[in-house]
Amino acid sequence: MSKCRAAVLAALFLFLTAFSAAAQDVTLTSHDGDVEIEGTLLGFDGEFYRVDTIYGEITVDASGVVCQGPGCPNLEAFVARLRVSGSATMGEVLMPALIEAFALRNGLTARREQDAPTRFTYVLADKGSGEEKARFSFHNTTTDEGFSDLLADESDIVMSLREVRPSELRRARELGLGDLTGPNRSRVLALDALVPVVSARNPLRAINTDQLAQVFAGKITNWAQLGGPDAPIILHLRAPQSGLTQTAQDKLLSPVRLSLSLGVTAHASNGDLVKAVARDPIGIGIASQSNIGNTRPLVLTGSCGFSLRASRRAIKTEDYPLTAPMFLYLPARRLPKLARDFLTFTRSDPAQIVIRRAGFVDQSPEEVSINDQGDRFANAITAAGSEVPLSELKRLVTRLGNMRRLTTSFRFRPGSARLDAQSTSNVQQLARALEAGKYDQRELLFIGFSDGQGPAAANRTIAAKRAEAVREAVQHAAETANFDKVRIGTEAFGEALPMACDETAWGRQVNRRVEVWVR
């Protein structure tokens, strides 16, 4: 054998040996030595190993095995890592505020390291020893980029201002990420809303949603068409990749089968958008309710005389039609314990206070007395037609007179009996409250309402079925609740208490709902 050939064979042997070691970089052995698992370490969350073996991917409790091999982590100095990507609206203020509050409540320090203009990391460390416990890395871009990072395995959690798209769902399944619409794969972190805004120098005070849709579709192009001066309308929106712009398409334009005009001035941030509109007396924008700057918000109206403002309560109940839930999409795999603890904290009462202070709408249920709902009942009387007699309104007032409305409401996807995304989250929220005993010794009443399309009797029947379906969903989710301590019932009033005008698709959508009342 020549020296050259021998050298080649030796190099090949070393390569194959190294490849084999890399392909099986850990061996997990039970303490009694009876079980041995070899494979490639895919991850370690501080408690469990994820290993790719010849039998497929398995998860093993670290407390029951000894790890050997070059891939074994240091159990004593484990640092939890979490990668978060997506909406800058959520990542700039809300998530940092929650992380800092979480650290404070858990004896940790939170140090922010700026890695790049759109990237930063929070380093969480023990307040006493200074030992590093976690690194939460953020990529603040857009909702689109957040899902792209998840699909490219460059992120663990997506911050999203919209629901996941069908194309993203398909791609996630193809990549082995499972069903992103499945149980516990998403949650509503907080609530925002889309608000039409103009300059303080603009005379317009209100606009109906059909007009607003036609404006941003380029069908209405002059302020004179809205009762204003003879001047062109200049459109302002976030960039097309922004979740806010995509939500505007979904909630404002799609229901009336319109598409966004090509003549829109796109802005990189909500701050840039409101500054531009504030300077532009003939401009109009759709901004985040959490930051309208020096612009003036427009009231949403309808031809039947109803008007809706983007108030905190109207957003929380989804009575305001352009409510925009702020989602976190989560991986199917286990996250490190400290990351899971943080996600649990985001649903706590202290976290809801942080969310409010950050300028967003929290999800803590509030109870609204009937005396604070005068406008709603006045609208009901005004809108009552021949199919809603005075006796039905009297029945409604008599039944609800000594009860209070919860701000937790339930609405449905257009043309479907399925709950929308925010309402799905509300099911879990109300279920956790029942499990915690917050409504023990009280009565909860699920009340169905409908739009006014079709006969009133049929609408009451449909509303009753929806109320019963929501009640069943909440009780099914509240697995550990003691239902002997709380009275739960259903009722239906159909079209008797409209929230908006029925002549528009969004108005009918707002009117189809299940409310929760308590006594």
CATH code that applies to domain 21-72:
2.30.30.100
Per-domain residue ranges for the chain? 21-72, 80-185, 192-316, 365-518
**% of the chain with per-residue pLDDT over 90:** 54
User: What counts of helices (H) and strands (E) characterise the chain?
Assistant: 16, 24
- Sign for the pseudo-dihedral over CA of 319, 421, 353, 298: negative
Band (pLDDT 50/70/90 cuts) for residue 10 is very low
Q: Tens digits of per-residue pLDDT, 76-110?
A: 778 999 999 999 989 999 999 999 999 999 999 99
Helix (H, G, I), strand (E, B) or coil at 125: strand
Q: Do the domains spanning 21-72 and 365-518 agree at the CATH topology level?
A: no
pLDDT digits (tens, 9 = 90+) for 371-410: 777 677 776 666 666 677 777 778 888 888 889 999 999 9
Q: Are 49 and 59 in contact (CB under 8 A)?
A: yes
Q: Per CATH, is 192-316 categorized as 3.20.10.10?
A: no
Q: How confident is the model at residue 339 (pLDDT cuts 50, 70, 90)?
A: very high
What does the pLDDT look like over 158-215, one tens digit per residue?
999 998 999 999 999 999 889 998 878 888 999 999 999 999 999 999 998 889 999 9
pLDDT band at 72 (very low <50, low <70, confident <90, very high): confident
Q: Which residues contact 337 (CB under 8 A, 6 or more apart)?
A: 45, 46, 47, 80
Tokens of 492: 């239906």
* pLDDT of the residue at 17: 40
Question: Is 230 or 10 the better-scoring residue by pLDDT?
Answer: 230
The pLDDT confidence band at residue 490, using thresholds 50, 70 and 90, is very high
| pLDDT (0 to 100) of residue 8 | 40
What are the structure tokens assigned to 162, written together?
Answer: 């919209």
- pTM of the predicted model over 0.75: yes
Mean of the per-residue pLDDT values of the chain: 87
Q: Give the list of residues 6+ apart from residue 262 with CB closer than 8 angstroms, or none.
A: 218
CATH entry 3.40.190 includes domain 80-185: yes
Q: Which residue has the higher pLDDT, 374 or 19?
A: 374
Q: Which two tokens stand for residue 159?
A: 């911050």
Superfamily of domain 365-518 in the CATH hierarchy: OmpA-like domain (3.30.1330.60)
* The predicted structure's pLDDT at residue 413: 78
CA 505 to chain centre: 23
Cα separation, 444 vs 518, whole angstroms: 5
